[in-house]
Amino acid sequence: MTHKPRVVVGLSGGVDSAVSAYLLKEQGFEVIGVFMKNWEDDDDSEYCASNIDFLDAASVADVLGIEIEHVNFAAEYKDRVFAEFLREYQGGRTPNPDILCNAEIKFKAFLDHAMRLGAEKIATGHYARVREVDGQFQLLKGLDASKDQSYFLHRLNQAQLAKTLFPVGELEKTEVRRIADAIGLPNAKKKDSTGICFIGERPFREFLNRYIANAPGPIKNELGQRIGEHVGLSFYTLGQRQGLGIGGLKAKGQVRGGGEHTPWFVARKDLAANTLFVVQGHDHPWLLSGKLVADNLSWCAGSAPSEASYGAKTRYRQADAGCAFTTSASMMQLSFTEPQWAVTPGQSAVLYDGEVCLGGGIIASAETSVSNQALG
C-alpha cells in the first residue's frame, strides 16, 4: 500500500480553507483538519464568532470525511501577538496583527503542532503560492489579484515556506465558491471574514478602550489652530477621515479653495504634545510621502535582496508602487517614483519583484514633501 503524505489543514470555518482541504484530499493526501482558537477574552459576545466558526469547520470536516481537532492557541496569541499589538498602539503606531499572527501562530505554533501530528506539510486557505527554484522557496502572489494575500505572509521564512501548501492560491475566488457549491459544502456561501482576527466585526474604538487608557488632547490644523479634541492618539491612524468630530468646519487660510465640505484627514500625531494634526483634502502634501524607512526586517530568502528597483506595498490592496530599495543591516529605505498616500508607521512595507514577494519590514518613519512641523 502506498504511503499517503499527511497534510494538516488549518480549517477556519471559511470557504477558502474548506476548499483547500477538499483539493488536497482529491490530490491523494491524507488530510487532517485543525481549528485554531486564538482568542477567548469575550467568546460570548455578539462579535466573536469563534464558536460558530468551529461548527462550520466541523461540518466541513464531516462532509469531506476527514478528522478535525480543536486546538487552543489563545495563550500563545496573547503573548506573541496581542501584547505586541497593544505596545504598538500605545506607542502611537498602527500595527497589523494579522501579519504577526501568520508569522507567530499559523506558521509557527500551528506548524509545530502539525509536525507533532506527523504531518509532512501544513496548508491554509490563503491566496498565495509557493514555488521551489534551485532548492530555494519563493513566496508568490495569489493568481487572483483581487484576493492576493502575500502581503500578510511576507514574514514567512525558508523553513516555513518549505512546509506550506496554499491550494487555492492557483484559483480565482469565484472558482473556489463554485467548487464549494458543487461538492455541497455547508459554508459555500458564507461571507468572507473582515477586520482584525480577534476584533472581528466589533467597533474598534470600543474594543481598544478596554485595554488602553485614553488621554484626550487637542486636534489642530496645519496652522497650529485648535479646532477640536481627540479622545486619545492611539485611537487614530494616518489617513483616517471618519470619527474626527470636526466635519463641516472651515479653517482659516484654507488652501486650494477647499470649502467646508472638503473632508479632514489625520495627518500627524505629536505624542510628546499629545496633539493630533489634521489637514483638509485627500491629496494634501502632509499625506504624501516620497520615502520611508522600515526596520524589523524579514526576508523570505533569508537575506536581503540586492539594492535595485522593485515594487512595494505600504498597505494591503494597493497596487505595487515603483521604488528604489536600499538597505543597511537592520533598516531599509524605499524611495518611491510617485509619492505614496498616508504611509503609516507600524504598518508593513512589503517588497515585490514582479509576482515574487521578497519580504519587508515595519514602517518606522515616512518623509513628506513638506516638513510637517506645524505651529504649536
Residues taking part in catalysis: 101, 197
Distance CA 312, CA 142 (A): 16
Burial (CB count <10 Å: 0-12, 13-18, 19+), residue 156: buried
Q: How many CB atoms lie within 10 A of CB 47?
A: 14
CA angle 100–103–108, rounded 5-degree value: 130
CB contact at 8 A, 267 and 279: yes
Indicate the helix (H) or strand (E) that contains 52: helix 50-64
CB contact at 8 A, 298 and 364: no
Strand partners, 327: 332
CA 356 distance to own-chain centroid: 18
Q: How many CB atoms lie within 10 A of CB 260?
A: 11
Distance CA 187, CA 18 (A): 8
Residues sharing a CB contact under 8 Å with residue 47, sequence separation 6 or more, in sequence order: 199, 200, 201, 202
- DSSP string of 340-363, one letter each residue: EES--BTBEEEEEETTEEEEEEEE
CA distances in angstroms from 141 to 144, 307, 353, 359, 361, listed in the order given:
8, 21, 10, 12, 18
Indicate the helix (H) or strand (E) that contains 182: helix 173-182
Q: Phi, psi (5° rounding) for residue 134?
A: 50, 45
The C-alpha cell at 43 is 467568546
Distance CA 192, CA 211 (A): 27
The C-alpha cell at 156 is 514567512
